[in-house]
Amino acid sequence: MSQTAYPPISEHLDDPESAREEGRRKMDWAFQHMPILTELQKGFEDEKPLSGQSIGMAMHVEAKTANLVETLADGGAEIAITGCNPLSTHDDVSAALDSHENITSYAVRGVDDEEYYAAIEAVIDHEPTITVDDGMDMVAAIHDDYPELIDSIVGGCEETTTGVHRLRAMDADGALNYPVFAVNDTPMKRLFDNVHGTGESSLASIAMTTNLSWAGKDVVVAGYGYCGKGVAQKASGQNANVIVTEVEPRRALEAHMEGYEVMPMAEAAEVGDVFLTTTGNRDVIVKEHFETMGDGVLLANAGHFDIEIDLDALDDLAVDRYEAREGVEAYEMDDGRRLNVIAEGRLVNLAAPIALGHPVEVMDQSFGVQAACVRELVENGESYGPGVHDVPDELDEEIAEIKLAAEGVEFDSLTETQREYMGSWEHGT
C-alpha cells in the first residue's frame, strides 16, 4: 500500500491548540442536544462492541459529525476521517477530533481537488474494515484504487440520497463488492434530516449569507423529493410564494395538490427571485435559464454535488464577476443584470461561510442510525452479501424509541388481539 504524505489537520494549522479548544466547545454544545448518541455512547463505552475495527469515514467534519466519530471511538474502534465536501469542514472541530488518541482527522476546509482526494487516500491507508460515507467517495476510491482491501472490509454505511443512488447504480452494474447500508433511506433519517434538516438549514444559511428576507419572494424549488418538500414547506412558512419544478409526474402532482405553483424551469426562470436546487441531478439551471432571469436573483444548491447549477455556462455569459458579499459571487451580464451565486453552488447549508449544517436534533437521529448500523456490521456483517442493503427496521425503531424516551413522549403498543388481527386475513365483514 502506498504511504501518502498527506498530513492530518493539526499539521495544517498555525495554532492547533486553540483550534482544538474551540472545536471541543462546539462539540460539547452539540452533544448536550444529542440524546440518542449520548445513550448509544454509554452502551458503547461499557461494551466496546467495535473493538478491533478500523473505520474509514468521509463526512462533513463539524461538531455533530465529530460526536458520532467519538461515539464510535468510545465503542473501541480506530477511526480515520476526512471531509466529503471541500467547504464543509470546520478546521477547529477537525483539530479537536485529531487530538483523540484513536482518531486521525485529515479534514481541512478549502482544499482543492487534489488535496481532497489525497486526504481520502490518507484515510484508506489506515486500511478500514468499515467505511462510513456521505456521497460514496470512499467506497468509489476503494473499489477503483485499493480493491485488495475489499476482502477485509466488513461493510459500509451511506448517509445521503446521492450516495445511495450512486451505490445502487454500482450494485446494478455488479460492481459493488461489499455490503453497504442505505442509512439515508430509513424513516428516522429521511423523514427528518432530508425534510426538516435541509429545509431549515438551507433557508437559514441563505438568509444569513445575504441578510435578505423570504417574505414576499418568489422562491423556485427544483425537485420535490424529501429535500425539496422540506425546502418548499419552510419557505412557504416564511411567507414566500413557492414555485416547484419537477420531472416526475406524481411528484409534480403532489406539489400541485399541496398548493404550490408547478411549472417548467424555463418559465420559473423568468419569475423567480431565489432558486434552490434539490434534485441530485446535473444541469438543472442552465444557460437558457440564466438568459431570462431578473437582476439580483439568488442561486443556491442544496443537493450533495455542485453540478445542479451550470456555473461554467454562467461564467461564459458573464462580462464581470466579483464577490458581492462573503459567500456571494455576483455574475454580471452584458445587459447589467446581476445573478448571485451562493457558496459556489455547493450544498449551501454546509458550504456557505457561516453554514453550520443541519440542526443538531436531526443529525442526532441520522447519526444514531449510523452508529447502530456500524454496530450491526460488526455483530452480523457476514450475513449481508455484497450490495446495497436496507437498514433492518428494528434498528431504526430502536433509535426512534430512544428519542421518544428522551423527549418524554409515551406511546401505545398493540394488544395481543390487535397484533393477531393485523397478522390475519381471515376476519372479514
State the binding site for substrate. Answer: 134, 159, 189, 193
- Short-list 110, 139, 111, 112, CA closest to 123: 139
Distance CA 196, CA 28 (A): 23
Going by the annotation, the residues of the binding site are 134, 159-162, 189, 193-194, 223-230, 246, 281, 302-304, 349, 358
Is 64 a residue that touches ligand RBV (CB under 6 A)? yes
Q: How far is the CB of 30 from ligand RBV (least distance, A)?
A: 9
- Short-list 363, 287, 329, 375, CA closest to 76: 375
The residues in 164-193 that bind ligand RBV, with binding defined as CB under 6 A, are 184, 193
The residues in 205-264 that bind ligand RBV, with binding defined as CB under 6 A, are none
Is 365 a residue that touches ligand RBV (CB under 6 A)? no
Is 202 a residue that touches ligand RBV (CB under 6 A)? no
Q: Which of 79, 232, 307, 350 binds ligand RBV (CB under 6 A)?
A: 350
Distance CA 330, CA 341 (A): 6
Distance CA 350, CA 379 (A): 33
Q: How far is the CB of 88 from ligand RBV (least distance, A)?
A: 7
Distance CA 291, CA 3 (A): 49
Residues 135, 305: contact at Cβ < 8 Å?
A: yes
Q: Which is nearer to ligand RBV, 246 or 361 (CB)?
A: 361
Distance CA 294, CA 318 (A): 14
Q: How far is the CB of 7 from ligand RBV (least distance, A)?
A: 23
Q: Which is nearer to ligand RBV, 23 or 197 (CB)?
A: 197
Is 41 a residue that touches ligand RBV (CB under 6 A)? no
- In the DSSP assignment, the letter for residue 390 is P
| Main-chain phi, psi angles of 286, to 5 degrees | -130, -175
Q: How far is the CB of 271 from ligand RBV (least distance, A)?
A: 29
The residues in 43-62 that bind ligand RBV, with binding defined as CB under 6 A, are 60, 62
Say what the alpha-carbon torsion angle 78, 73, 56, 381 is, to the nearest 10 degrees. Answer: 90
Q: Which is nearer to ligand RBV, 277 or 366 (CB)?
A: 366
Q: Which of 160, 209, 277, 365 binds ligand RBV (CB under 6 A)?
A: 160
The residues in 312-341 that bind ligand RBV, with binding defined as CB under 6 A, are none
Q: Which of 75, 228, 280, 357 binds ligand RBV (CB under 6 A)?
A: 357
- 3-state secondary structure (DSSP) of residue 133: strand
Residues 246, 252: contact at Cβ < 8 Å?
A: yes
Is 159 a residue that touches ligand RBV (CB under 6 A)? yes
Going by the annotation, the residues of the binding site for NAD(+) are 160-162, 194, 223-230, 246, 281, 302-304, 349, 358
Task: Concatenate the DSSP letters of all residues of 161-179 into one string.
Answer: HHHHHHHHHHHHTT---SE
- In the DSSP assignment, the letter for residue 324 is E
Distance CA 94, CA 85 (A): 14
Residues 244, 261: contact at Cβ < 8 Å?
A: yes
Order of all β-strands in the sheet with 218-222: 261-262, 241-245, 218-222, 274-277, 298-301, 338-342, 328-332, 320-325
Is 358 a residue that touches ligand RBV (CB under 6 A)? yes
Is 304 a residue that touches ligand RBV (CB under 6 A)? yes
C-alpha 311 chain-centroid distance: 22
Is 200 a residue that touches ligand RBV (CB under 6 A)? no
Q: Which is nearer to ligand RBV, 75 or 197 (CB)?
A: 197
C-alpha cell at 312: 461554467
Distance CA 384, CA 351 (A): 35
Q: Which is nearer to ligand RBV, 68 or 220 (CB)?
A: 68
Q: Which is nearer to ligand RBV, 53 or 201 (CB)?
A: 201
Is 396 a residue that touches ligand RBV (CB under 6 A)? no
Q: How far is the CB of 362 from ligand RBV (least distance, A)?
A: 8
Q: What residues make contact with ligand RBV under the rule CB under 6 A? A: 60, 62, 64-65, 134-135, 159-160, 184, 193, 197, 304, 347, 350, 357-358, 363, 366
